[in-house]
Structure 1
Amino acid sequence: MDARLNYFASPTAGKALKHFMAVGRTLKESALPAATQELVSLRVSQINGCAACIDMHTKEAEAAGGTAPRLHLVAAWREATVFTEAERAALELAEQGTRVADAGEGVADEVWERAARHYDEDQLAALVVLVAFMNTANRLNIIARQPGGDYRAGQFH
Structure 2
Amino acid sequence: MNDRTDVYAVGGALFKAWYDLSIQVEKSGLEKSLLELIKIRASQINGCANCLNMHTSDARKAGETEQRIHLLCAWEEAPCFSPRERAALDWTDHMTQIATKRAPDHVYAALAHEFSAEEQVQLTLAINVINGWNRLAVGFRLYNPALGWAA
TM-score, normalized by the shorter chain, greater than 0.5: yes
Q: 4+ residue runs of structure 1 moved beyond 3 angstroms?
A: 147-150
Instruction: Verify: 1:33 aligned to 2:40, yes or no.
Output: no
> Which residue matches 2:103?
107
Q: How far, CA to CA, are the matches of 2:73 and 2:27 in structure 1?
A: 26
Letter aligned with residue 8 of structure 2: F
Structure 1 residues 71 and 3: alpha-carbon distance in aligned structure 2, compared to 1, 3 A threshold: farther
Pairing 1:49-128 to 2, within 5 Å after superposition: 49-103=47-101, 106-128=102-124
- What are the Cα deviations for residues 102-145 of structure 1, in whole angstroms up to 9, with x where unaligned? 13xx2111101101111111111011101111111111111112
Higher relative contact order (CA 8 A, sep 6+): 1
- Shift of residue 25, structure 1, vs aligned partner: 1.1
Q: Give me the CA root mean square deviation.
A: 1.6
> Which residue matches 1:5?
5
Q: How far, CA to CA, are the matches of 1:62 and 1:78 in structure 2?
A: 21
Structure 1 residues 25 and 98: alpha-carbon distance in aligned structure 2, compared to 1, 3 A threshold: same
Unaligned runs of 5+ in 1: 153-157
- Shift of residue 31, structure 1, vs aligned partner: 2.0
Instruction: State the TM-score, normalizing by the size of structure 1.
Output: 0.88
Secondary structure class of the residue paired with 2:2 = coil
Structure 1 residues 3 and 45: alpha-carbon distance in aligned structure 2, compared to 1, 3 A threshold: farther
Unaligned runs of 5+ in 2: none
- Shift of residue 5, structure 1, vs aligned partner: 2.3
Q: How far, CA to CA, are the matches of 2:97 and 2:134 in structure 1?
A: 13
Instruction: State the TM-score, normalizing by the size of structure 2.
Output: 0.91
- Shift of residue 149, structure 1, vs aligned partner: 6.9
- Shift of residue 99, structure 1, vs aligned partner: 0.5
How many percent identity over aligned positions?
33
Q: How far, CA to CA, are the matches of 1:15 and 1:6 in structure 2?
A: 14
Q: How far, CA to CA, are the matches of 2:42 and 2:145 in structure 1?
A: 18
Q: How far, CA to CA, are the matches of 1:112 and 1:143 in structure 2?
A: 30
Structure 1 residues 124 and 142: alpha-carbon distance in aligned structure 2, compared to 1, 3 A threshold: same
